[in-house]
Amino acid sequence: MQDQNFNKQVYHPLDSVEDVEEFYQAIRREKLTHKLAPERPYCYWTIETYDKSNGIRGGGGLGVLAADMRRVAEQLQVPFVLVTPFYPWESHQRMENMEQIDYHTEKHYQDFGFNFVDTVNIKTATGAVALDVIEKRLGSSRFLCVTEPNFGELYSGESGSDHRLYQEVSLGFGGYKALKLVGCRPGIIQLNEVATFFAAVARLDELVDSGMDFYEAVVYTRKHTLYTNHTLVQAAEATFHYDQFERYVFPNIKSTSVRRWLSDKFTDGMIRLSTPTVEIAELRSGVSKLHARVANYHDINGNKIKFKSITNGIHMRTWTLPEIMDYYHNNNILDKFDLPTIREFEENVNKISAEDIRHLKGLGREKLNDILSHRTDQYGNPVFIPRDAMLFDFKRRFVDYKRPWLPFTDPERLAKILQENNAHYILAGRVHMGDTTMFKKLMDLLHLIDSHPILKERVHYLPDYDEELGLGLSLGANSSINTPIVGLEACGTSWMKDIANMGILISTHDGGVADRPADSYLTVDGKNEAQEVEELYRQMDVAAKAWQNDFDLEYWIHKELIAYLDVISGSRMMRDYLNYLF
């Protein structure tokens, strides 16, 4: 029931092999078909995937990105394998008497169309663990997953714990064995963050074990491994002890030279996985221009690591109202690859009329209300946003740097903006399990809303933020608020969903938003937080007034689409990766 709206999104794969050749030619990579093939695919390793319709729930943007990479690969017919765990458990939240309750549900891969392939073994110091290898093929792409009943859920246990290391070892070594099992040899390995590092070790070890000279094997592995970083500070990364490696990692490595190489990466008996990752991956990328510039990583000799910037994109056909996608295609704004058209792109965007925008947003609002009808707010009631009301939204994981509380700094001011403009405000979020600080901040917010008659009527909190809510709010909200502390968002993708669906973005100049000039959207800046709050309220007023005035509405929607459609396009992201890799 819950999945229905999401699954309704249909894929329009490209028509023919000629189309694929044309795409490769369009990105000037004619020979790509020789580098990537079904048995030599693009292999994308990730500890997190966010694809509910395929039974795998993630935690946030990292997982959404992985799912979208696969969807884009499927659409563009790129041979692609997503190697990821299938978690037998997932965590959820609901509200009861204004309290947030965590609960867990069990998942069975058989229910999501996965096929059992075989088992592979992972060794530990005291024995072996058998992992089930399961797969699901979708066009040129496939999910290849490892799982077992005690695998647990995503991010269970502390970071740096034995269980996390066990999950990462299973994904790396187990996933690599799984790849062999289904007859594939990686054309390229992309490591989506360092939790996937052991996939590169497995490859290196295989090469050395099969007789290749150690240094040659290192060079070979380096050339074919891309490490994508999403984090800003190396210091924030988990550390593991040498004895944890003795128990979980070393038993899986056959070659003594590989083991020695890895042992040398410990300092005072501790290791951060980024240290060996940057050595084994010659290709390294960050996820926005700003992030690639400011990510502060050093190699073992203290030299700063350079990252190539490849800004995240979204799979547009998943996250955009189908009627809006048709509109972009029919009006020659996007081509059949979902890339902005080369000629007349700006002219065509500038022809979008306020009437069309309002009509399409109206359809989006209907879809949002469908979704809201089976979700509940902090009081346990479904929410309905009238067609003629303006809707602001703030939807993200509740983490401090994203500042979900910012618009509530001056409750009277917020109430006035909402009431004067007949506006509602939806706050959708998810507190990371065990984050007691953010949980308390959320509770304080909910009590504040409860105590204020206008806010109580117009502000709705929706727990258990997930893809369905992310999609629904992008379709149906008029203006979205994105206010990370500048410098702390690596990229962010929910703002992309909002722009793709013709919403007006109010944002700090951070992450992928900062790929384009600050006058491309309603920017929130200031020397300190008080000034930012002031700007935020001012821009909320500007957004509300723009929706009451055709000229301003067209001005902002045109500006955003011209600036960001190519940034947003997942096909652009795939093109950038392929260009960097080959």
Taking the complex as a whole, how short is the minimal distance between the CB of residue 315 and ligand PLP, in angstroms? 11
The residue to which tokens 């078909």 are assigned: 33
Among 140, 190, 493, 507, binds ligand PLP (CB under 6 A): 493
Taking the complex as a whole, how short is the minimal distance between the CB of residue 60 and ligand PLP, in angstroms? 4
Between residues 57 and 575, which has the closer beta carbon with respect to ligand PLP? Answer: 57
Residue 211 burial (CB count, 10 A): 7
Backbone φ and ψ for 294, nearest 5 degrees, come out as -100, -10
Taking the complex as a whole, how short is the minimal distance between the CB of residue 403 and ligand PLP, in angstroms? 12
Asked if 338 touches ligand PLP (CB under 6 A), the answer is no
Could you tell me which residues come within 8 angstroms of residue 226 by beta carbon, excluding any fewer than 6 positions away? Answer: 188, 189, 190, 191, 281, 283, 284, 285, 577, 580, 581
Question: Under a CB-based contact definition with an 8 Å cutoff, are residues 106 and 153 in contact?
Answer: no
Distance of CA 144 to the CA centre of its chain: 19
Q: Which range binds ligand PLP by CB under 6 A, 341-349, 406-414, 486-494, 521-529?
A: 486-494
Among 467, 510, 515, 566, binds ligand PLP (CB under 6 A): 467
Asked if 492 touches ligand PLP (CB under 6 A), the answer is yes
Residue 478 burial (CB count, 10 A): 27
The rounded distance, in Å, linking the Cα atoms of 484 and 137 is 37
Asked if 192 touches ligand PLP (CB under 6 A), the answer is no
Taking the complex as a whole, how short is the minimal distance between the CB of residue 488 and ligand PLP, in angstroms? 11
Interaction pattern, residues 24-63, with ligand PLP; x per rule: CB under 6 A: ------------------------------------xx--
Q: Which range binds ligand PLP by CB under 6 A, 103-111, 131-139, 361-369, 464-472?
A: 464-472
Among 51, 466, 515, 560, binds ligand PLP (CB under 6 A): 466
Between residues 32 and 522, which has the closer beta carbon with respect to ligand PLP? Answer: 522
Between residues 466 and 554, which has the closer beta carbon with respect to ligand PLP? Answer: 466
Asked if 64 touches ligand PLP (CB under 6 A), the answer is yes
Question: Under a CB-based contact definition with an 8 Å cutoff, are residues 55 and 109 in contact?
Answer: yes
- Comparing CA positions, the residue from 470, 390, 400 lying closest to residue 428 is 470
Could you tell me which residues come within 8 angstroms of residue 239 by beta carbon, excluding any fewer than 6 positions away? Answer: 160, 270, 271, 272
Backbone φ and ψ for 142, nearest 5 degrees, come out as -150, 150
Q: Which range binds ligand PLP by CB under 6 A, 11-19, 195-203, 279-287, 492-500?
A: 492-500
The rounded distance, in Å, linking the Cα atoms of 490 and 309 is 11
Question: Under a CB-based contact definition with an 8 Å cutoff, are residues 492 and 564 in contact?
Answer: no
Between residues 251 and 492, which has the closer beta carbon with respect to ligand PLP? Answer: 492
Interaction pattern, residues 149-188, with ligand PLP; x per rule: CB under 6 A: ----------------------------------------
Could you tell me which residues come within 8 angstroms of residue 116 by beta carbon, excluding any fewer than 6 positions away? Answer: 132, 133, 134
392-421 residues in contact with ligand PLP (CB under 6 A) are 396
Asked if 231 touches ligand PLP (CB under 6 A), the answer is no
Distance of CA 549 to the CA centre of its chain: 34
Taking the complex as a whole, how short is the minimal distance between the CB of residue 466 and ligand PLP, in angstroms? 5
Q: Which range binds ligand PLP by CB under 6 A, 93-101, 228-236, 246-254, 459-467?
A: 459-467
Residue 272 Cα distances to 236, 255, 269, 565, 577, angstroms: 10, 21, 11, 37, 26
Q: Contact residues for ligand PLP (CB under 6 A)? A: 60-61, 64, 396, 465-467, 470, 492-494, 497
